[in-house]
Structures are given as C-alpha cells and as structure tokens.
Structure 1
C-alpha cells in the first residue's frame, strides 16, 4: 500500500497534497488541495466548521471560484486571473461574476476587467 505524504516542501516550496488548518475564537477552518513548486494547482476546497465555503480550480494563470452561503447554496461564481503589479502577484476578478441569495436565486451579475467592475446587472 502506498502512502501519500501531506504538507511537504521541496527546495523550500510547498509541493503535493496539503491540508491547512486554523482555529480562531474556537471556529475551525481548513483548506485542502495541491501545490506545484509553491503554487496552488488543481482543485482547492475551503471549509469553516466543516461546511464548504469556497471551491477554487486553478489552471495556469486562471482560477474558477465558487463561494457558498452557510446554507450550502452558491453565493457567487466567477473567474480570477493572476497578475503581477509592482512585483506583487495578485488574483483579480475577471469576466462575468454571478451573485446569488442564500436560497440560490440570482441577484445580479458583474463584469470585471483586471479587478475593476465595468458593468453591473441586477434582477428584480
């Protein structure tokens, strides 16, 4: 039987499967996914008190993001892209983002470019 080691580094960079856990004011949060040469890759999931809050899927310089209400319904969904500004790397919203209420009803849509909202559309 093969074992999969977690939380490993190679040449000082996170690599392979990682499980990151924190506790703040008795509230536990965790994230799990994979690193490749210190960069998140593939699917990452974040939880607070064992409920999923975020699911991110990294592919090259893009990330598909789904954030959830504590009811389990989708809160927002969209893409971000990795950009470097003044030697600082950031993930900025890009393209179409949809926002939902806690019952899963669409509230509106925003169109982003490099983190800046260009247009907003709201449902009635």
Structure 2
C-alpha cells in the first residue's frame, strides 16, 4: 500500500470512516477516524511512534498519549507508552496513567475541585 487511503464501512448501524496515508505499507503522517461523521480518533505517525487522541461523542478530548511500535519475538504491535491523560466530557483531566511497553505502571485519579 502506498499513498492516500480512505476506508468506509458500516458496523451495527454505525458508519465508520478513516482517512490517512501509507508509505511502503506503513501508516505515515496524520490519520483521522470518524463514526457517523464525528471525529473519534486522530493519529500522527513519526517512525516507530504515534501521537494518539481519542474524542468523546461531544467532540471534547477524551484521552491523549503516545503509542510505540515494538517487536516482541515474532510479533510486532503498537503499545501504549509513557504518560496518557484522560479527560471527562467537560475537558477536565480525570486520570493520568503511565505505561511501559503497553504495561500499566501507575494510575492516578485527579480530584476535580471545579464544579
């Protein structure tokens, strides 16, 4: 695969669409994913790393972090890596998680004092 890629399909009445680019069979640069016309995820690839952002149905940021392409034996997989932040639908930070090669190392709930 090489060049611009657009995939559309329906599953359980939800219309999914992804738009991005491949170079020599690997995803590159920016990718966007939609469900019923609303953004659900954005990815930005740079070599073996990918910045990922997930979105709530209201369009607010739900989670953000980095994934890393790691080879384990014969398997190659994208794993959560480093710090991930999770937000509620009002854009308040609610959880920090730390990952190492896809393994959850620590999790901290953020107490929100705003009401």
TM-score, normalised via structure 1 length: 0.87
Q: Which residue of 2 aligns with 1:93?
A: 80
Q: Counterparts of 1:24-63 in structure 2 under 5 Å?
A: 24-63=11-50
Q: Counterparts of 1:100-111 in structure 2 under 5 Å?
A: 100-111=87-98
CA distance in 1, matches of 2:69, 2:57: 27
TM-score, normalised via structure 2 length: 0.93
CA distance in 2, matches of 1:87, 1:41: 23
CA distance in 2, matches of 1:100, 1:43: 22
**Cα distance per residue 1:25-76 (max 9 Å; x no partner):** 2210010000001100000000000000000000000000000000100110
Structure of greater Rg = 1
CA distance in 1, matches of 2:10, 2:76: 27
Residue 74 of structure 2 is aligned to residue 81 of structure 1 = no
Secondary structure at the residue paired with 2:59?
Answer: coil
Runs of 5+ consecutive residues of structure 2 not aligned to the other structure = none
**Number of residue pairs matched?**
111
How far residue 84 of structure 1 moved from its aligned partner, in angstroms, is 1.4
Task: Give structure 1 regions of 4+ aligned residues with deviation exceeding 4 angstroms.
Answer: none
- RMSD of aligned Cα (Å): 0.8
Runs of 5+ consecutive residues of structure 1 not aligned to the other structure = 1-13
CA distance in 2, matches of 1:123, 1:35: 38
